[in-house]
A and B are shown apart, each in its own frame.
Chain A
Amino acid sequence: MIVYDECVAEIQALLAQSHAGGSIVPPESDLIDELGLASLDVMELIEALEDRFDVAFPLNELGDVRTISDLAQRIQNLT
């Protein structure tokens, strides 16, 4: 089972490397509007999370994902 907090922390850590210049951003941060991820970046983030938690995350689920928290919830729901 994937714990929400663990998932948020993982996303924050991945984004710190790729988009947030090393800093940990709050869970309410909007991936596209605030952190500036392009759609390709979001898909790459998903790939990394799938591998980290060994789950399959359908791209169709991305539609209403806006924030780190949204994404963490979706991933938690997969298991």
Chain B
Amino acid sequence: MSLLQKLDAARAFQDQLGQLGVNAIGATIDVAGSATEGKIDGKRVILAGTNNYLGLTFDPACIEAAAQAVRTHGTGTTGSRLANGTYAGHAALERELSAFLGVRSAIAFTTGYVANVGAISTLAGPGDIIMLDADSHASIYEGAKLSGAEIYRFRHNDPADLDKRLRRLGDRCARTLVIVESLYSMLGDVAPLDQFCDVVKRHGAFLLLDDAHSFGIMGENGRGLAEVLGVEDEIDFVTGTFSKSLGSVGGFFASRKHDVAPLRSQIRAYMFTASSTPSVIASTRAALKRVSQGEALRAQLWKNCARVHEGLSSLGFTLGAAPSPVIASLMDSPEQAATAWQALLDAGIYVNLVVPPGAPKNLSLLRCSLSAAHTDDQVERIIEGYATVAQQLFDQPRAAATAYA
């Protein structure tokens, strides 16, 4: 068997998706132009599948900060944080993030993926245990694998199942890192984080929260689901990303309970990759400022979420969860999802098409993600787009899509 068989298998997989009408490498956005509208295949569309929850990619202050930074500091740092890649901006961002989150220390990474891989693989090692939610993001699985720790899964969002599995570990819980997320990116469902905190504490294990999706958008101050539930002091470690609510790219690893700063000289994914470009750091800092005074943005976002959720459910779509900035419509099959996705795009609405194995339970989804920057008019046009799709879909009786919900 040749090494290159993997290429053949990958091509076969892409062809298979192609036959379903799915472009395996995604749509190409020719011009973004704004946080909520862009051009795909020469056609103007509303962007409703971007994770740009607060619309800050086109915030004037963020753009200005990035533009100034690129003129002052150039286009890249061309080096690792431990060598020539720490500029004053990188250090300032870490201080500002620490103050915002109220943590002892925070380390910034080049992406959120890298933050997870680096933090998890360094916190846990051979002889330790990682217990992760079954629906965890790929970067969490990747970090776990790389750590060399024993890996166990518990049922998604199920504190009782976690409790049972920790009990089986007995006194090895003292060497166990439990990993959960806040708002799950595919179905938009939210973790029972307070209950997870209780279970983890009872067994004497440690908890890492990947707050990629609720950071900036939940909580009175935007500190995420843990702020909402009042459990920030109980979480051992937090990771997150700058690529959703902050509208840039990068990630972080932080803690209220422990000083993680010394791990800078241990985390290989921090030491052996180039640091973020100064303009990215500058726009992230500006975005963090907007987030920390972002009550109005958050209110607008959640208003949009409620409206679209109500609109889509009354059209007959089966939705993945209660209203949140991720509104997933469950489709009966990958073929149906692909057809519906194309019909939505033809109607001028871009959402994310998710087919197996991209989502939990082998579901096929139309994943809509909303932004505070969507205007009332755009929100209505998104719902109208779904209405044209609903007409095509619901001529026939529904089948499997109801199974999950």
Our pick among B150, B152, B165, B362 for the contact of A40 (Cβ within 8 Å) is B362
Interface string of A50-64 (1 = CB under 8 A from B): 110011111110000
Of all chain B residues, which has the CB nearest A46? B153
* A56-B169 CB under 8 A given contacts A40-B362, A47-B155: yes
Of all chain B residues, which has the CB nearest A44? B134
How many residues of B are counted as interface, with CB atoms below 8 angstroms from the partner's CB atoms? 13
Interface string of A24-53 (1 = CB under 8 A from B): 000000000000001010010001001100
Number of A-B contacts (CB under 8 A): 28
CB atoms of A59 and B153 under 8 A apart: yes
Q: What is the distance, in angstroms, from B148's C-beta to the closest C-beta of chain A?
A: 8
Q: What is the distance, in angstroms, from B270's C-beta to the closest C-beta of chain A?
A: 25
* A59-B151 CB under 8 A given contacts A40-B362, A43-B134, A50-B165: yes
Query: With a CB–CB cut-off of 8 A, which chain A residues contact B129?
Result: 58
How many residues of A are counted as interface, with CB atoms below 8 angstroms from the partner's CB atoms? 13
Our pick among B150, B155, B164 for the contact of A60 (Cβ within 8 Å) is B150
CB atoms of A38 and B153 under 8 A apart: no
CB atoms of B168 and A54 under 8 A apart: yes
Of all chain A residues, which has the CB nearest B151? A59
Among B151, B153, B164, chain A packs the most CB atoms within 10 A around the CB of B153
Which chain B residues (53-94) contact chain A, with CB distance < 8 Å?
none
Q: What is the distance, in angstroms, from B152's C-beta to the closest C-beta of chain A?
A: 6
- B357 on the A face (CB < 8 A): yes
CB atoms of B357 and A47 under 8 A apart: no
CB atoms of B357 and A40 under 8 A apart: yes
Of all chain B residues, which has the CB nearest A55? B168
CB atoms of B151 and A47 under 8 A apart: no
Q: A40 vs B153: C-alpha distance in the bound complex, in angstroms?
A: 11
Q: A50 vs B154: C-alpha distance in the bound complex, in angstroms?
A: 11
Q: What is the distance, in angstroms, from A51's C-beta to the closest C-beta of chain B?
A: 8
Of all chain A residues, which has the CB nearest B361? A40
CB atoms of B357 and A56 under 8 A apart: no
CB atoms of A38 and B168 under 8 A apart: no
Q: A50 vs B357: C-alpha distance in the bound complex, in angstroms?
A: 24
Q: Which 4 A-B pairs have the closest CB atoms?
A: A58-B150, A56-B168, A59-B151, A60-B151
- Which A residues fall within an 8 A CB radius of B? 38, 40, 43, 47, 50-51, 54-60
- With A58-B150, A59-B151, A60-B150 given, can you name 15 additional A-B contacts, CB distance below 8 Å? A38-B357, A38-B362, A40-B362, A43-B153, A47-B134, A50-B165, A51-B164, A54-B168, A55-B168, A56-B168, A56-B169, A58-B152, A59-B152, A59-B153, A60-B151
